[in-house]
């Protein structure tokens, strides 16, 4: 059992290094460290009980069912119907054509069996994972090849039918579901690996491959995907690229703008743009593929991806630490970068309110003593002895100096996953807390948590919880506000306050989630009007009729 | 003296590890290693003699003089006038306006003292570093601010005056000098660092900062630039970004597409596009800056750059190794990636003909016994003990298995530079060998050297030298062919042969040098026509009159 193994590992590892700790640490910090170990043994039993209990209530699964993540959505949708986006936000439908019987007949000829019109089957594809926006599409298409996507778009463009490309539908800004009756073009059946070269580490695959499946495939070949995120069990690599997903490994392996080497994209008029070169370097003309990375399906449909994959690290270590203040988190980060250097692969933080949510809603156990903040540090390297020595030295240093007051470490895969869950499943825990207002902000790291404090003060009791967590190593804060239900007045209290605050410190109002439907009107807080104008010109050039993912990403140019 | 220190270091380091070598290595490989050490002592004296001799002949300096790299060009130009590009290649001038007296008066008002019309002063700015293309510009403008660049372009666009943006003029494909009488817009006086944040490692600077100066500035703050290349003493960061320069650190820190976080660009009509956000992550709309990275000044003039800089490694080691075959180089690379992992920062190769050129033309010493191939491996890490242990283990492994037959190692900064010079100064050595036909090719690594062999066979005695070297870790070959002088018939024997060969193996005809003037007609060997068409549409949209760096990068759309 995962939790029990984690305890054993933790104790074992501490045992190995205890001698060094005793030599170097102050008694105060050492006591905190060892008491955390003892605490685990108690929690192990409590957690086993909680796990049994948790089976009673429906749990959220990040696994793909036979039809995407339908099981999850259906269970949600049956309990409470999500308000239509068009009604909640008062959006006007653009003058696209409506799908006719002859359209259906055409699509059926192109992709026999891949045309879904059953309203019940369509339900989960019309609602986002957060249950915050809902469209009313009457048609889901599931092509298997690029040629089929090309035919679908060519026809749709001619007929002026709007199309909503959809990957795993795990987006958080309402970008992946229709606003009205757009045709949903799912990449779910485009899930084949095309090639992998084990000398260069270059993977070419179809856009609908699920991130976790790709990672599993690569791990058997001693490689990994250069990105990792909580939704990995459902999200598609095509969607990851279309939204320029960041996630947990960006600190180490960089953004998709560097690791994506090639793309195959079908444009709005159905023409296929093949920029799928499997080369580390290619400076022949403008790098067109970059325009599609992060364009959220508004400029073209990504059908295949070529990506550079790093070797699977031979040693991974995780440290989960308690910290008394945000300034100590920052100082620990500077120390960490200096002492762990090239093996540092993640530096995540969460506040105590996040911890309370994952403990109360998901029945996870907090492995360290209560603290205002928690840090999760991951190292990935090629030599376990060297890595553990570096990590030991670092931990001794931050404990001795009082920067960190408690902590636990894991080296075994299973236990690492259990610790990672505390951070990765915050998003899920929040959905159990009520309606969630989500903000994904880039800021200079020194200012990162001030926004959480100021928002908390501003909202007072009108919010249920105001929590902050995120990828501190990338200057990326996830600010989340929960309430019993959606409320216009609460939204008005949050926006544009959060955006103005962010703009004041030259931050970005969307670090990694994109703009989708919910944030598109706030782009000017992070981009000058000349830039927005240029984006609108690109959109008009590549998709003159605006059929691709309408109502998303950019404010309308009129 | 550098060479003497290198010898001492080499001996010292070998002494330290000799015991381990004796324990683990076969006698054969060990003998080769230690004989290289002895060989150095002899070469030290010979090299000192050669250094004295080398002072007699004019040497090429990569340092910037008061007016860019004028000293170098002047000395060249005085000895032999380079044929005009328009004549050699039979290009027709496009119907741009000619610079008038009233234009000069306008520019003098905008940038008093920054308007240069003296033909002698203009000479070096009209000729590329390779002495292979020459324009006939009569006007050089040297603005200091973005506002000045904006005014210059707004006016030029209105007047239909063509403009050639120029950084350090170190490009290798004729992209940085005019073809006819385009106004040269130099970034040389835009050389200020705007800000540096030592927590995030984010640098913001003007486009005309010289790469080496930036690196020196950062080193004092314990950081480095994420790119490094032979021309670092002259090239401008704006030019690096405009050409998407690769270089020696790409293997470790990734491409500029990942490390450049923001750009400020002046468009053809003079409008300033501020995408200079100093954030690691920003997903608000399309990533416009990417379009300008690698666009070679044809879409806009980059005036400022925001770039993510890594920490200065605490330990750097260099190994220079001899290898008997290219397949052994590949096997050594796989072993190297496995055993050095995260500390590997460069894996370069060169063939014996390159070595002969740097030895004969630049009087550098070959530190290892003659071999058909040489490898240069660099490690950069945060712990010298760990790094040396990793490197030792790796060297023991490749020597014991016979993959590597001779080698030398350096850990001290000065000696590292001396070893790096053997690789970095090949470009320079080639210019002494005659007229150089340069090819910068991306290929699957297994095929990399076959192109050199096939080209050598094809050209026979019509070429003076056919050499291959490059960034093997990135699949990037620099194929260079020298001849006594430029010859149409030799060029016809090389092209399109090299491009067809490259296309056959799905390579890129320009890995990192760009297309510039010389390669633009060959873009179709690496890009489908749909992509080229789209590039032309972008160009037409952003620069409708085509005033920015005309005759470059893209074939004309007519």
Query: Are residues A317 and A302 part of one domain?
Result: no
Q: Which of B193, B244, B197 shows the shortest CA–CA distance to B440?
A: B244
Give the one of A283, A527, A534 whose C-beta lies nearest to B514's C-beta: A283
* A285/B330 touch (CB, cutoff 8 Å), yes or no: no
- From the list A290, A382, A507, the residue facing B257 with the nearest CB is A290
Residue A294: closest CA among chain B residues belongs to which residue?
B286
Rounded CA-CA distance B530/B533 in Å is 5
Separation of alpha carbons A234 and A236, rounded Å? 7
Asked if residue B63 is part of any domain, the answer here is no
Positive or negative, the CA dihedral A193, A197, A203, A204 is negative
Question: Mean per-residue pLDDT for B44-56?
Answer: 33
Could you tell me if A290 and A390 lie in one domain? Answer: no
The average pLDDT across B344-369 equals 97
- Number of folded domains in chain A? 4
The C-alpha atoms of residue B60 and residue B51 are separated, in whole angstroms, by 14
Instruction: Identify the weakest region by mean pLDDT among A54-68, A424-438, A453-467, B538-552.
Output: A54-68
* Contact across the interface for A254 and B250, Cβ inside 8 Å: no
- Would residue A66 count as lying in a domain? no
C-beta atoms of B389 and A389 within 8 A: no
The answer to whether the Cβ–Cβ distance between B284 and A515 falls below 8 Å is: yes
User: Cα distance from A98 to chain B (closest Cα, Å)?
Assistant: 28
For residue B287, the chain A residues in CB contact (below 8 A) are: 244, 257, 290-291, 293-294
Q: Counting one residue from A and one from B, how many pairs have CB atoms under 8 Å apart?
A: 263
Looking at CA atoms only, how far is residue A393 from chain B in angstroms?
Answer: 12
- CB B531 to CB A279 under 8 A? no
**B357 occurs within a structural domain:** yes
Contacts of B255 in chain A (CB under 8 A): 258, 281
Domain final residue, candidates A396, A420, A444: A420
Q: What's the pLDDT tens digit per position in A65-85? A: 323 332 233 334 344 789 999
DSSP class of residue A142 equals -
In this predicted structure, what is the pLDDT of residue B199? 84
A-chain residue closest to B531, CA distance? A273
Structure tokens given for A162: 């709007």
- Quote the mean pLDDT of chain B: 87
Residue bearing the bigger pLDDT, A27 or A303: A303
Residue B495 has pLDDT above 70, yes or no: yes
For residue A246, which phi and psi values (nearest 5 degrees)? -95, -85
| CATH number of the structural domain spanning residue A247 | 3.30.465.10
Whether residue A368 sits in one domain with residue A440? no
Residues A302 and A198 in one domain: yes
Residue among B154, B280, B294, B338 with most chain A CBs within 10 A, to mutate: B280
CB distance A346 to A300 below 8 Å: no
Residues of chain B with C-beta less than 8 angstroms from the C-beta of A338: 311, 382
Tell me if B379 is assigned to some domain: yes
* Residue of chain A minimizing CA distance to B379: A342
Query: A219 CA to chain B: closest CA distance, Å?
Result: 15
Neighboring chain B residues of A541 at a CB cutoff of 8 Å: 537-538, 541
Among candidate residues B186, B207, B226, the one where a domain is terminated = B186
Residues A291, B293: C-beta atoms closer than 8 Å: no
B419: CATH: 3.30.70.2190
CATH of the domain at B513: 3.30.70.2740
A337, A377 Cβ separation under 8 angstroms = no
- Domain identity same for B295 and B325: no
Last residue within a domain, chosen from B395, B427, B459: B427
Phi, psi of A325 (to 5 degrees): -155, 160
Residues A474 and A521 in one domain: yes
- Compute the distance between CA of residue A68 and CA of residue A179 in angstroms, rounded to an integer: 20
pLDDT over 50 at B57, yes or no: no
What is the pLDDT at residue A18? 27
pLDDT at residue number A42: 30
**Residue A474's closest CA among A313, A251, A171, A218?**
A251
B543 domain residue, yes or no: no
**pLDDT above 60 for B523:** yes
Task: Please give the average per-residue pLDDT across A193-215, as a whole number.
Answer: 96
Q: Which residues of A touch B290 (CB under 8 A)?
A: 257, 287, 290-291, 293
Taking CB atoms and an 8 Å limit, are B281 and A476 in contact across chains? Answer: yes
**B202 & B181 share domain:** no
Closest Cα in chain B, distance from residue A226 (Å) = 12
For residue A397, pLDDT beyond 60: yes
Looking at the fold, whether B200 and B165 belong to one and the same domain comes out as: no
The pLDDT value given to residue A277: 85
C-alpha to C-alpha distance for A95 and A77, rounded to whole angstroms: 29
Q: What is the mean pLDDT of residues B395-400?
A: 98
* Closest Cβ opposite residue A530 in set B273, B283, B474: B273
- Minimal-distance CA residue of chain A relative to B552: A285
- Pick from A54-58, A275-279, B295-299: least confident: A54-58
- Which residues fall within 8 angstroms of residue B66, CB to CB, at 6 or more apart? none
pLDDT in tens, B89-141: 999 999 999 999 999 999 999 999 999 999 999 999 999 999 999 999 999 99
Pick the residue of A199, A201, A247, A280 with the most B CBs within 10 A to test the interface with B by mutation: A280
Choose the closest CB to A288 out of B446, B526, B531.
B531
Do B117 and B218 fall into the same domain? no
Residue found under tokens 């085509």? B546
pLDDT value for B558:
64
Closest approach of B118 to chain A, Cα-based (Å): 34
Residue A552 lies in a domain: no
Q: Do A304 and A198 have their domain in common?
A: yes
State the residue range of the domain holding B351. Answer: 2-57+313-427
Q: Are residues A176 and A198 in the same domain?
A: no
With residues binned 3-state (H G I as helix, E B as strand, rest as coil), the percentages for chain A, rounded to 5, are: 45, 20, 35
Residue A558 lies in a domain: no
Could you tell me which chain B residue has the CA closest to the CA of A524? B284
Residues of B in contact with A345 (CB under 8 A): none
The CB density around residue A53, as the number of other CB atoms within 10 Å, is: 10
CATH number of the domain encompassing residue A106? 3.30.43.10
Q: How far is A303 from chain B (nearest CA, A)?
A: 16
Q: Is residue B19 part of a domain?
A: yes
Chain B residues touching A383 at Cβ < 8 A: 341, 386, 390
Closest-CA residue of A relative to B446 is A199
Rounded to 5°, angle at Cα A232 from A384 and A351: 75
- pLDDT of A404 above 80: yes
Q: Of the candidates A246, A274, A535, which has its C-beta nearest B286's C-beta?
A: A535
**Same domain flag for B304 and B317:** no
**Best to test chain A binding among B154, B261, B285, B380 (most A CBs inside 10 Å):** B285
pLDDT digits (tens, 9 = 90+) for A487-506: 999 999 999 999 999 999 99
Instruction: With beta carbons less than 8 A apart as the criterion, state whether A335 and A398 touch.
Output: yes
Tell which residue, B228, B206, B257, B238, has the closest CA to residue B316.
B228
> What is the arithmetic mean of pLDDT over B337-343?
94
- Of residues B398, B355, B401, the one with CA closest to residue B377: B398
ipTM of the prediction: 0.86
Tell if the CB–CB gap between B281 and A442 is shorter than 8 Å.
yes
Selecting from B281, B314, B343 the residue whose C-beta is nearest the C-beta of A512 gives B281
């Amino acid at each position: 059992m995962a939790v029990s193994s984690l305890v054993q590992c933790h104790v074992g590892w501490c045992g190995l290094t205890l001698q060094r700790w005793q030599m170097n640490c102050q008694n105060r910090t050492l006591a905190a460290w060892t008491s955390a170990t003892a605490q685990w043994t108690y929690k192990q039993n409590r957690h086993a009980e909680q796990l049994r209990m948790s089976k009673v209530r429906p749990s959220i699964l990040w696994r793909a069912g036979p039809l995407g993540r339908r099981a999850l959505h259906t269970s949600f949708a049956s309990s409470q119907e999500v308000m239509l986006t068009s009604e909640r936000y008062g959006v006007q439908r653009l003058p696209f054509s409506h799908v006719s019987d002859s359209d259906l007949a055409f699509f059926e000829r192109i992709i026999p069996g891949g045309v879904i019109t059953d309203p019940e089957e369509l339900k989960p594809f019309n609602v986002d994972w957060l249950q915050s926006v809902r469209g009313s599409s009457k048609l889901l298409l599931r092509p298997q090849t690029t040629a089929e996507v090309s035919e679908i778009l060519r026809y749709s463009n001619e007929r002026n039918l709007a199309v909503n490309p959809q990957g795993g539908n795990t987006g958080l800004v309402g970008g992946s579901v229709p606003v009205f009756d757009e045709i949903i073009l799912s990449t779910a059946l485009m899930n084949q690996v095309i090639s992998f070269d084990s000398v260069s580490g270059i993977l070419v695959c179809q856009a609908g491959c699920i991130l976790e499946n790709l990672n599993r495939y690569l791990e058997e070949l001693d490689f990994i995907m250069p990105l990792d995120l909580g939704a990995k069990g459902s999200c598609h690599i095509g969607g990851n690229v279309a939204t320029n997903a960041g996630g947990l490994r960006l600190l180490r392996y960089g953004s998709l703008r560097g690791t994506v080497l090639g793309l195959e994209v079908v444009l709005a008029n159905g023409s296929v743009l093949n920029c799928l070169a499997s080369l580390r370097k290619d400076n022949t003309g403008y790098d067109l593929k970059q325009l599609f990375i992060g364009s959220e399906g508004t400029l073209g449909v990504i059908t295949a991806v070529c990506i550079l994959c790093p070797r699977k690290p031979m040693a991974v270590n995780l440290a989960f630490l308690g910290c008394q203040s945000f300034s100590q988190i920052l100082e620990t980060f500077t120390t960490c970068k200096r002492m762990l250097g090239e093996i540092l692969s993640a530096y995540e933080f969460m506040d105590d309110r996040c911890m309370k949510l994952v403990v109360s809603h998901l029945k996870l156990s907090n492995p360290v003593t209560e603290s205002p903040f928690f840090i999760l540090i991951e190292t990935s390297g090629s030599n376990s002895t060297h890595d553990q020595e570096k990590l030991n030295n670092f931990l001794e240093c931050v404990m001795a100096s009082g920067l960190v007051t408690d902590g636990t470490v894991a080296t075994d895969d299973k236990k690492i996953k259990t610790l990672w869950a505390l951070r990765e499943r915050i998003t899920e825990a929040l959905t159990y807390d009520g309606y969630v207002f989500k903000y994904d902000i880039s800021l200079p790291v020194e200012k990162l948590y001030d926004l959480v404090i100021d928002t908390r003060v501003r909202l007072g009791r009108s919010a249920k919880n105001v929590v902050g967590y995120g990828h501190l190593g990338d200057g990326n804060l996830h600010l989340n506000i929960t309430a019993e239900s959606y409320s216009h007045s609460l939204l008005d209290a949050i926006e544009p306050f959060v955006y103005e605050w962010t703009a004041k410190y030259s931050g970005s109002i969307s670090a990694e989630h994109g703009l989708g439907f919910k944030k598109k009107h706030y782009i000017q807080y992070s981009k000058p009007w000349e830039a927005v104008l240029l984006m609108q010109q690109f959109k008009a050039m590549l998709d003159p009729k605006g059929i691709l993912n309408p109502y998303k990403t950019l404010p309308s140019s009129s």
